[in-house]
Amino acid sequence: MYKILYKYAYICIIISTKMKKRLLYYTIIKQLEHKNALVITGMRQVGKTTLMKQIFSEIDELKIWYDLENPLDQLVFEEKDFNVIYNRLIREANGEKGKRLFVFIDEIQNYPEITRIMKYLIDYYGVKFLVTGSSNFYLRNLFPESLSGRKFLYILLPMDFREILYFQNKISLEYVSQPRQLNKIKNNQIDHEKRIEDYRSFLEFGGFPEVVTTEDNETKKLILKNIFTSFFEKDLQLLSDIRNVRELRDLILLLVPRTGNILDISKIAAELGVQRTKIYNYMEFLTGIFLIALIPRFSQSIDRSVAGGRKVYFADTGLLNLIGKVNEGQLFENAVANQLKHYGELQYYNKRNTAEIDFILNKETAVEVKLNGTVRDLEKLKYLSEKIGLKKQYLISRRFLPQSLSPVLL
């Protein structure tokens, strides 16, 4: 069953009434009454537009939709007098002045001037804005001044394993919506064995919604290829002034075998034959568009380090497998890193390459990741973590071990 939600300027928004919703939907929907603009960002094709359409369908009040990839929709906001823009919005929404207006704007990065308009309409008319943007790298520079104190920023990531199981009707919304706490996970061999094949698929293909909801494996690979291609065709052109695409491509290829390892920026710069400052700029861009994540070294004081000395992980294991090849242990550690993001802030511990802990969660919990964990691994982790003042520790093993945490339950 399908329902037409809104039609305007050649836009026809159609959405299945039975379509499942990303978990972020249930967080954002609670903020509809607040005055602040709601900004949804994330990688391309993680489902930002679909999520916003689903919110649009829940609004019974005055509402209107714009897609700023459409030049005709941009034209609505190309007016020096912001009061004229407000009157136009009300008129096109078939509403009356004084009623609260919800304005949905897709792909806001295509028209950066709009943030000043948003600020004015929020302050003087109480307009509620819900907008999407394809990159934190761009939005970070777009919003700080224009909408200071007038926005809530949400990052939509590729699905993690729990959300994938929910979309595949293998666990309930009630279960997947529970607050995440490592100490609440009950290790269970039956559940572990039941989900191990699902987890293998998660490791291979990752968590982009279209990939998750596609059954054929070859089609999954084609979708991932298209996602990576769109990064070069759209994000690079729109969101950066990077001219040497080959250099950036070669850097990404160099990062793949370094997954889960500490980066040496000087060596990378020498291998590519470019300046270190350029590598830092590239790394900032790649983290800003959510392609990679850089995990800093554990410090109980304020961390002042930059890209050098950090460990690198890719935001999606499906993309990682598409770009290059890593060993089984690296792939597993990368997947766990992406799962642990939902529990808090990640760091790692390394003492002059003689002792290492894969992850420190929220500066209080040590987490070690092993393909085939043993009791000895857990004992070693406990010894190391207690030496640096961490009283909580967990071993995550792909092979079931009663004393460890199962990745399929994270």
Q: What residues does CATH 3.40.50.300 cover in the chain?
A: 2-156
Q: Which residue has the tokens 């861009």?
A: 285
Nearest to 39 by CA among 151, 128, 148: 151
* pLDDT value of position 239: 67
- pLDDT by residue for the chain (410 residues), tens only, comes to 333 333 333 333 333 436 899 999 999 999 999 999 999 999 989 999 999 999 999 999 999 999 999 999 999 999 999 999 999 999 999 988 888 999 999 999 889 889 999 999 999 999 999 999 877 766 777 776 678 889 999 999 999 999 999 999 999 999 999 999 999 998 889 999 999 999 999 999 999 999 999 999 999 999 999 999 988 777 777 666 777 788 999 999 999 999 999 999 999 999 999 999 999 989 998 998 899 999 999 976 654 444 558 999 999 999 999 999 999 999 999 999 999 999 999 999 998 778 899 999 999 999 999 999 999 999 999 999 999 999 999 999 999 999 999 999 99
Exposed/middle/buried for residue 234 (C-beta within 10 Å: 0-12, 13-18, 19+): middle
* pLDDT value of position 14: 38
Task: Determine the distance from the C-alpha atom of residue 171 to the mean position of all C-alpha atoms in its chain, rounded to a whole number.
Answer: 22
- Could you count the other beta carbons within 10 Å of the beta carbon of residue 123? 11
* pLDDT value of position 144: 67
* pLDDT value of position 133: 87
HEC string of the chain equals CEEEEEEECCEEEEEECCCCCCCHHHHHHHHCCCCCEEEEEECCCCCHHHHHHHHHHHCCCEEEEEECCCHHHHHCCCCCCHHHHHHHHHHHCCCCCCCCEEEEEECHHHCCCHHHHHHHHHHHHCCEEEEEECCHHHHHHHCCCCCCCCEEEEEECCCCHHHHHHHCCCCCHHHHCCCCCHHHCCCCHHHHHHHHHHHHHHHHHCCCHHHHCCCCHHHHHHHHHHHHHHHHHHHHHHHCCCCCHHHHHHHHHHHHHHECCECCHHHHHHHHCCCHHHHHHHHHHHHHCCCEEEECECCCCCCCCCCCCCEEEECCHHHHHHHCCCCHHHHHHHHHHHHHHHHCCEEEEEECCCEEEEEEECCCEEEEEECCCCHHHHHHHHHHHHHCCCCEEEEEECCCCCCCECHHHC
Give me 83's structure tokens: 């009061």
Q: Rounded to an integer, what distance in angstroms lies between the CA atom of residue 311 and that of residue 260?
A: 6
Is 94:103 a contact under the CB 8 Å cutoff?
no
Task: Determine the distance from the C-alpha atom of residue 384 to the mean position of all C-alpha atoms in its chain, rounded to a whole number.
Answer: 31
Q: Rounded to an integer, what distance in angstroms lies between the CA atom of residue 259 and that of residue 310?
A: 11
pTM: 0.91
Is 171:162 a contact under the CB 8 Å cutoff?
yes
Selected from 3.40.1280.10, 3.30.420.40, 3.40.50.300, 3.40.50.720, the CATH number assigned to the domain covering 2-156 reads 3.40.50.300
Give me 75's structure tokens: 């034209």
- Could you count the other beta carbons within 10 Å of the beta carbon of residue 229? 10
Is 115:147 a contact under the CB 8 Å cutoff?
yes
* pLDDT value of position 3: 35
Q: Rounded to an integer, what distance in angstroms lies between the CA atom of residue 27 and that of residue 23?
A: 7
Q: Which residue has the tokens 């209080």?
A: 364
Task: Determine the distance from the C-alpha atom of residue 355 to the mean position of all C-alpha atoms in its chain, rounded to a whole number.
Answer: 31
Return the ∠ at Cα 164 (arms to 212 and 405), rounded to 5°. 135
Q: Rounded to an integer, what distance in angstroms lies between the CA atom of residue 405 and that of residue 394?
A: 7
* pLDDT value of position 231: 83
* pLDDT value of position 11: 36
At residue 259, φ and ψ (nearest 5 deg) are -55, 125
Q: Rounded to an integer, what distance in angstroms lies between the CA atom of residue 19 and that of residue 319?
A: 25
Widest CA span in the chain:
70
Q: Rounded to an integer, what distance in angstroms lies between the CA atom of residue 334 and that of residue 170?
A: 23
